[in-house]
Structure 1
Amino acid sequence: MGLQMRLRHAVAAPAALIGASNFFELAVAVAISLFGLQSGAALATVVGVLVEVPVMLALVRIANATRGMFPA
């Protein structure tokens, strides 16, 4: 979408990463406060954060690989 909007890479790449993060850290805090530390919801959100890290690293690799496609 950033490419179609003719955004610079320095703007489009961080916007994509922020959009993809889904605020898992906030989800962990909410699940623990609502359901308690021993709940399945808290466990599921912690697992979500563990999955998020490799996904975000893959997105960084994609963003760096597509740098040349964006306007200077």
Structure 2
Amino acid sequence: MTAREPRTGPDVVEGLTRDPDPEVRAALARHPNPPARRLTELLVDPELAHAVAANPALDQRTADRLVRTHDHSPW
């Protein structure tokens, strides 16, 4: 599956994060090499925020910001 393939290109990953199927979007939110900007954008999607926050590819500063603002939207 494309969502689990680390060699999937960033353009494909980004496109699939916009798929109408929430399961596809969630799988891509966990992709090991997502475009950093898109990963941050996905944090505001309630269906994807948990998967994005758990993604090791999430920028450390963004992850730290999530920890500090866990009760409020940092965006």
TM band (smaller chain): under 0.3
Larger Rg: 1
Higher relative contact order (CA 8 A, sep 6+): 1
TM-score (norm 2): 0.26
TM-score (norm 1): 0.26
Q: Which has the higher helix share?
A: 1
